[in-house]
A = this chain, B = another copy of it.
Amino acid sequence: MATARRVGSATSETRAAILAATEQLLVESGYASVSSRSVAAAAGINPGLVHYYFPTLDDLFVAVFRRGAEKNLDRMARALASPTPFQALWRTSADPRGGALFFELMAAANHRPALRAEVAELAERARRLQIEALRELLPQYGVDGGLFPPEFVAAAIQGIALSLGREEALAMATEHRAAAAAMENLLDHLEQRRHAAPPRRAQGPEARS
């Protein structure tokens, strides 16, 4: 029976510094730049100490992911309960830093099975949360549930946010700004429609100008 290795306490300041440094490295330089030594340098500590708190790099990646995921789930739940849930959900999904972090962790999950399982599980939980909320919300917005089922709308919001975030990271030209503006405009329109008319028969998310 393998004796448990020592790991630092969950409330440690150093532990938090390691997580913060890793997050910063992920966002700014990509997952390939994360190593015991680079993280330690960014956090101003000794490299061996990283392995004291996170025996394996996999453990570190998973911890970073869990921390971000919890924050994000909370934020998303609050968004879905806000007075303008659609807009709030979009703002949550389109957060640049969170998007970049999620993107890197997804990429890292590609060759880190332990991380992949974690990411998959949480992505599914978040998706289900959204779908359940959208199932009640979409009729209020007068969206045609036949053409735009909750599963589709959830995937679309996340996909568009992911894509626009990437384009911004690539320093692409103004096209993505136009797309983001159109998204904001569309959401404005939907929120107005929701507050103007009571939920009646299902319809598509458009106006005849």
Contacts and interface: CB of A to CB of B under 8 A. Distances in A.
A204 to B, nearest CB: 2
Nearest to A106: B166
A122 to B, nearest CB: 10
Interface string A103-116: 11011111100001
A156 B143 CA distance: 17
State the oligomeric state as a number of copies. 2
Interface in A166-207: 166-167, 169-173, 175-176, 178-179, 182-183, 185-186, 189, 201-207
23 contacts: A30-B110, A30-B111, A31-B107, A104-B107, A116-B171, A119-B170, A120-B171, A123-B172, A124-B172, A124-B173, A124-B175, A147-B205, A149-B178, A149-B182, A151-B175, A151-B179, A152-B179, A156-B160, A159-B160, A159-B164, A202-B209, A204-B204, A206-B206
